[in-house]
Structures are given as C-alpha cells and as structure tokens.
Amino acid sequence: MTTDDSVQVRDVDHYFPRAGDEPIKILHGNNLTLKRGEIVIMVGRAGAGKTTLLTLIGALRRVQHGKLEVLGRELGAMNNRQLVEVRRRIGFIFQRHNLFESLTARRNVALGQDSSATGLAARSQLDEILHWDGTIRALFEKRLADLEQGHGPEVERLRGKKLDAKRAGLRAFVADRARIQGLLKEEPFKNDLPRSLLALLGLHERCDNKPNALSGGQRQRVAIARALVNRPDLILADEPTASLDEENGRVVATILKEHAKTNGCTIMLVTHDPQILDIADRIVTMEAGRIISDIDIKQAIEICEFLKQCNVFANLTPEELREVADKMIRESYPAGARVIGQGERGDKFFLIKEGEVEVFVDGESPAHRVRVLGKGDFFGEMALLLDQPRSATVKAVGPVELYALGKEDFNAATEASPPFKEQVRRVYQSPSAFG
Ligand SMILES: Nc1ncnc2c1ncn2[C@@H]1O[C@H](COP(=O)(O)OP(=O)(O)OP(=O)(O)O)[C@@H](O)[C@H]1O
C-alpha cells in the first residue's frame, strides 16, 4: 500500500453462515486498490456481492480471509475500538439510511460532526459549500440555457410536450437554487454547518422535521449530508441516488465529485443509475462474488480515441470500440526492450500509449530498421489474424507504454465485426502493417 492508496483489498474471500449447513462462500479472491481522491463505481447484478464488499471495506464486518487495508490501517488485526476509529474517517451513505427517528434532520446531520472540529475548519467548510453551490448552479444554468436554445443531448432525447415540461421543471429548479444560494449566504446558515449542508441539498425547509415526516428521497439526502459533514477521507455509498429524481440525483453526483476534488476524498459507490456513471474515474464490475473487470475511464476514452484512428478499427461502433478498449491492458517496457520478436508466435495486438518503437525485419542492425512507430500507432495484428509467426521484431526506442489486447479478445473483435475483419485483411496487404 503506498501513501496514495486509500484502500487495498488483497485476496479477500467472505463466507456467510447457513443454518444446519456449511457456511456459503459469497466473495471469492477479490483484489482492488482505490487511490486517494478517486471515484470508483461498482456495478453488478443483484446478489453479486457488492454490498458485502462495501461493508467489509467500511469495517462494518470482520475480515475472514485475505487482507484489507483502509486509510493506512490493516483491518484484520484491529480490536473493536480501533475499528470505530477507522469508521469515524468514513462517510457512509447506505440504502437503509440509519437515521435516528427521534431526532430532527439537522440533529441527525450534526451527529456526524466531529466534536473536535474547530470553528476555523467549519468556516472553511462553509466556504466549500458555497463553492459547491456555485458549481451546481453553473451546471443547471448551462442545462437550462441548452434547453432554451434548443441544443444539447436532452433536446435530442426529448420531443414536443416532454421538452416543454422539462424546460418548465428546470426553470423552477434553477429558480429554487437561486433561493438556496440566498439562504446559504445568510448569517444563520453561515454559522450552522448541518443546516447549510441540508440547504445545499435542497432541504432548507426540512431541517427541523424528523425522518418519519420525510420522503425516501429526502431521508436519503439527510444521510448524504451526514456523510459529508465530517469531511471524511473515504465515502462508501450504496445506491446514493436511488430514491432521488433526476435533478436531485445530479446535485448529489456534483457534490460528491466536488468533495473528492476539493478534499482528496476517495469515493466508492454502488449504483445502477446511469446518469451518475459520468463522475467515475473507474468502473468495477462484480459477478457472482468476483470482480470481473476494473476499467479506468480516462484510459478507456484514450484507447477509443487511438482505436478510432486505426484504419482497422474504423468500422466498429462506439459500443464495440468500448468493448475492445475495456479489454486492453497497460504494459511498460524499458529503453531497448524487445516487445515482439520475428518468427515468434503472436499472442497480442499492441497500441502505443507513450514513446516510440523501432521495427526491424530480418535483422536488428540499423540497416534492418524499416520504421519507427509512435503514440497512437499500432502493431502486432498480422500474426494474430493469419495465425502465422511474427513478421518483424519490435523494440522500444526509449521507455514505452503500450496497451495490449490478447489474441482471443482480438479474434473475438474481428469475428464480431465482419467488415472490420475485411479491413484488417486489406490493411494486411498494405506495406504499413507489421507484426
Ligand atoms: N447476512 C447474510 N447472511 C447470509 N447471506 C447473505 C447475507 N448478506 C448477504 N447475503 C447473500 O450474499 C450474496 C451477496 O449479497 P450482497 O448484498 O453483497 O449483493 P449485492 O451485489 O449488494 O446485491 P444488491 O444489488 O441486490 O444489493 C447474496 O446471495 C445474498 O443473499
């Protein structure tokens, strides 16, 4: 675990007891690292094990097998008091909100407040809240301007009456946010962190209500305010936008993203809400108790951009491109290293992320160098496609970062898209193809 890591899950299994039977294994050898400030979204079918993994990371369950380090502490070796200390640094937003029914919304939020927080820290957090509010307003004003001017993705999605209703709804929402901004700037709100957080989440009129007088979505927002009030280092959220309408879902997504950015807070959330996916740095998929994919979004977008420029991939739909990108794995080579050797069996296709490689045919002296490839270029497809030995040797000029796609995944992509295969064959005829 480096100082940049907030969470490290190593070979974690988990069992649940069964009456009169052997315990049942729910999690199987999971590995995951969350870096500081990262937003990781976990998706997967019901019963895949997402909540179990989340509660293990949150020190709400005992680690049975494997190793779990959270915020620099190894959970397996801790006593209950130490586990409580770790939990204090975590903000939890869980589906069963765990609010105290006898306390008002404001008091529920205040409970999450660290009593050692100084007035100065609280004031700087109030400034942060004003900053988040500015970000939220800018986002909604832009959406409204797009709708009024008749462009943007929402206009394409909605037609006629639906579009008119959306415009009217959004106008009212933006006007309400202006009111919230006014409240946030008032003195009473300035000195009261829980109240300000609730106002930011659109609950300014609900601060003094007890949970039983709140809707599911309002209770959810109280739980979110409570998770944020102590400026946690890690937030664990299970369906944080599940009972919220689209607008409030976006407010919550924006606040979480801003919190990660301003405080370096790591956020791991389980969601089925597609509109929240765009705040993720990574998307982790679980299936039957196992993490089956872990995708770095920035990297996937970069790979798609590269793939689009390769002739051989030009025919794939964005969805097919994304599927290919998701399967590519990063590899690093030092200066002078041989990436592939002429005559060897081909097992991978490569895209160059950073650096340059030299291509040699029938020898490795300068006289045999036929080409230098750089960022965004690709090689290695011919041997895979034709099931023949490598036709060239490729060596790193300086340190090189590559994205590699295994033979099976490459073949699956070519099988799935006949025109793509055709193109590969055509490119194969051209002198620019190597490997
Ligand atoms: N306390 C428990 N005792 C026994 N089995 C449990 C317990 N909690 C969860 N399970 C089982 O473990 C499996 C994983 O459950 P988990 O809640 O982690 O899944 P999930 O991916 O979060 O699902 P969902 O999306 O429905 O919340 C399920 O088969 C569930 O029935």
Å from CA of 53 to ligand 1 middle: 10
Q: Which atom of ligand 1 is nearest to the CA of 51?
A: 22
- Pair of tokens at residue 15: 């069992």
pLDDT in tens, 220-241: 999 999 999 988 999 999 999 9
Q: Whose CA is nearest to atom 31 of ligand 1?
A: 47
- CA end-to-end span of the chain: 38
List residues bridging with 42 in a β-sheet: 270, 284
List residues bridging with 345 in a β-sheet: 389
Q: How far is CA 295 from CA 13, 69, 222, 285, in A?
A: 22, 21, 31, 9
Q: Which pLDDT score, from 0 to 100, does residue 33 have?
A: 95
Per CATH, domain 298-429 is 2.60.120.10: yes
Q: How many Cα atoms occupy the beta-carbon half-sphere of 287 within 13 Å?
A: 4
Q: Are 180 and 133 in contact (CB under 8 A)?
A: yes
Q: What is the mean pLDDT of residues 14-18?
A: 93
The domains of the chain are located at 1-89+232-288, 112-219, 298-429
- Pair of tokens at residue 303: 């790979």
Give the residue carrying structure tokens 């660290």.
Answer: 114
Q: Which atom of ligand 1 is nearest to the CA of 55?
A: 18
- Pair of tokens at residue 147: 């709708």
Farthest-apart Cα atoms in the chain, separation: 83
Residues above pLDDT 90, as percent of the chain:
54
Q: How far is CA 271 from CA 35, 38, 255, in A?
A: 19, 16, 16
Is residue 50 in contact with ligand 1, taking CB distance under 6 Å?
A: yes
Pocket test for ligand 1, best of 18, 22, 52 (most atoms within 8 A of CB): 52
- Give yes or no for residue 373 having a pLDDT over 90: yes
- Give yes or no for residue 350 having a pLDDT over 60: yes
Q: Are 307 and 324 in contact (CB under 8 A)?
A: yes
Q: Answer with the residue of higher pLDDT: 105 or 162.
A: 105
From CA 347, how far away is CA 303, in angstroms rounded?
19
Q: Are 372 and 397 in contact (CB under 8 A)?
A: yes
pLDDT in tens, 231-267: 899 999 999 998 898 889 999 999 999 999 999 999 9
Helix (H), strand (E) at residue 14: strand 5-18
Q: Which pLDDT score, from 0 to 100, does residue 347 have?
A: 92
Is residue 427 in contact with ligand 1, taking CB distance under 6 Å?
A: no
What mean pLDDT is reported for the chain?
A: 87
Model confidence band, residue 340 (pLDDT cutoffs 50, 70, 90): very high
Q: Which pLDDT score, from 0 to 100, does residue 31 have?
A: 95
Å from CA of 35 to ligand 1 middle: 26
- Pair of tokens at residue 198: 């609730």
Q: Which pLDDT score, from 0 to 100, does residue 14 have?
A: 97
Model confidence band, residue 413 (pLDDT cutoffs 50, 70, 90): confident
Q: Are 31 and 9 in contact (CB under 8 A)?
A: yes
Q: Which atom of ligand 1 is nearest to the CA of 44?
A: 21
Is residue 48 in contact with ligand 1, taking CB distance under 6 Å?
A: yes
pLDDT in tens, 55-70: 999 999 999 999 999 9
Q: Are 177 and 140 in contact (CB under 8 A)?
A: yes
Å from CA of 80 to ligand 1 middle: 24
Residues above pLDDT 70, as percent of the chain:
90
In CATH, the number for domain 1-89+232-288 is: 3.40.50.300
Is residue 47 in contact with ligand 1, taking CB distance under 6 Å?
A: yes
Q: Which pLDDT score, from 0 to 100, does residue 56 have?
A: 96
Å from CA of 280 to ligand 1 middle: 24
Q: Which pLDDT score, from 0 to 100, does residue 249 have?
A: 92
- Amino acid, res. 352: I
Is residue 108 in contact with ligand 1, taking CB distance under 6 Å?
A: no
pLDDT in tens, 149-203: 877 777 777 777 778 888 888 898 888 888 888 888 876 666 788 999 999 999 9
- Pair of tokens at residue 217: 């979505």
Q: Whose CA is nearest to atom 13 of ligand 1?
A: 47
ipTM of the complex: 0.94
Pocket test for ligand 1, best of 41, 42, 51 (most atoms within 8 A of CB): 51
- Give yes or no for residue 420 having a pLDDT over 60: no
Report the residue count for the chain.
435
Q: Which pLDDT score, from 0 to 100, does residue 412 have?
A: 80
Q: Which pLDDT score, from 0 to 100, does residue 124 have?
A: 79
Q: Answer with the residue of higher pLDDT: 123 or 77.
A: 77
Q: Do domains 1-89+232-288 and 298-429 have the same CATH topology?
A: no
- Pair of tokens at residue 206: 């609900």
From CA 172, how far away is CA 166, in angstroms rounded?
10
From CA 127, how far away is CA 124, in angstroms rounded?
5
From CA 134, how far away is CA 201, in angstroms rounded?
13
- Pair of tokens at residue 185: 């700037």
Model confidence band, residue 435 (pLDDT cutoffs 50, 70, 90): low
Q: Which atom of ligand 1 is nearest to the CA of 286?
A: 21
Q: Which pLDDT score, from 0 to 100, does residue 427 have?
A: 60
Q: Whose CA is nearest to atom 24 of ligand 1?
A: 46
